[in-house]
């Protein structure tokens, strides 16, 4: 399974990459929404996209709206991963097309729960 991580923080991409690999995913990365769309066009739809909200060039919400507007990506599971924790923002992300929302900080168990909520088979070990 393939997951696309879109985050401008190299450290956060590294954390997510490690966790996803332990859960059985191969990963690819982008540093903003525009790069994320480019990856989708280059490599096709992955099984999962994780996208931060606050990004340069094109933010996460704009990315989600652009992806959902393209029939090639309208069914890709989108998980927003962000420090934004207000109810109004969560609602906006879901209404814009995010399937799930993961607030930072998070643990590997929380990521695993989110993937299960998205109906994705998760393998590997959970470290507690």
Partner 1 sequence: MPSDHATSFDFVRTLVRKHSGIVLGAEKDYLIQARLQTLSRKEGFDSINQLLDQTQALLDQLDEAPQNGLRQKVVEAMTTNETSFFRDRHPFDCLRNVVLPDLLASRAAERSLHIWSAACSTGQEPFSIALLLREHFPELHDWQVQIIASDLSSECLDRARLGRFTQMEVSRGLPTPILAKFFSRQGLDWVIQDDVRQMIDFRRLNLLDPDLALPQMDVVFLRNVLIYFDKETCQQILGSIRRVLRSDGFLFLGGAETTLFLDDAFERVPLSQAGCYRLKHCYTDRSN
Positions touching partner 1 (CB under 8 A) are 85-87, 90-91, 94, 98, 100-103, 106-107, 109-110, 113, 116-117
In the complex, the smallest distance separating the C-beta of residue 119 from partner 1, rounded to whole angstroms, is 10
Of the pair 48, 98, the CB lying nearest partner 1 is at: 98
In the complex, the smallest distance separating the C-beta of residue 96 from partner 1, rounded to whole angstroms, is 12
In the complex, the smallest distance separating the C-beta of residue 83 from partner 1, rounded to whole angstroms, is 11
String of DSSP letters for 20-67: HHHTT-EEEEESSHHHHHHHHHHH---SEEEE-SS-SSS-HHHHHHHH
Cα gap 45→87, rounded to integer Å: 29
Beta carbons of 60 and 6 less than 8 angstroms apart: yes
For residue 64, report the phi and psi dihedrals to the nearest 5 degrees: -60, -45
Beta carbons of 127 and 104 less than 8 angstroms apart: no
SS3 content of the chain, % helix, strand, coil (to 5): 45, 20, 40
In the complex, the smallest distance separating the C-beta of residue 90 from partner 1, rounded to whole angstroms, is 5
Of the pair 16, 31, the CB lying nearest partner 1 is at: 16
Of the pair 37, 64, the CB lying nearest partner 1 is at: 64
Of the pair 32, 108, the CB lying nearest partner 1 is at: 108
């Amino acid at each position: 399974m393939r997951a696309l991580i879109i985050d401008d923080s190299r450290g956060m991409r590294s954390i997510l990459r490690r966790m996803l690999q332990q859960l059985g995913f191969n990963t690819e990365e982008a540093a903003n929404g525009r790069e994320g769309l480019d990856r989708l066009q280059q490599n096709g739809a992955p099984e999962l996209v994780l996208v931060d909200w606050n990004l340069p060039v094109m933010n996460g919400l704009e990315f989600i709206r652009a992806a959902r507007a393209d029939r090639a990506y309208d069914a890709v599971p989108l998980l927003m991963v962000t420090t934004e924790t207000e109810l109004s923002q969560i609602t906006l992300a879901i209404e814009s097309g995010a399937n799930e929302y993961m607030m930072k900080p998070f643990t590997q168990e929380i990521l695993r729960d989110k993937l299960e909520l998205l109906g994705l088979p998760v393998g590997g070990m959970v470290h507690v």
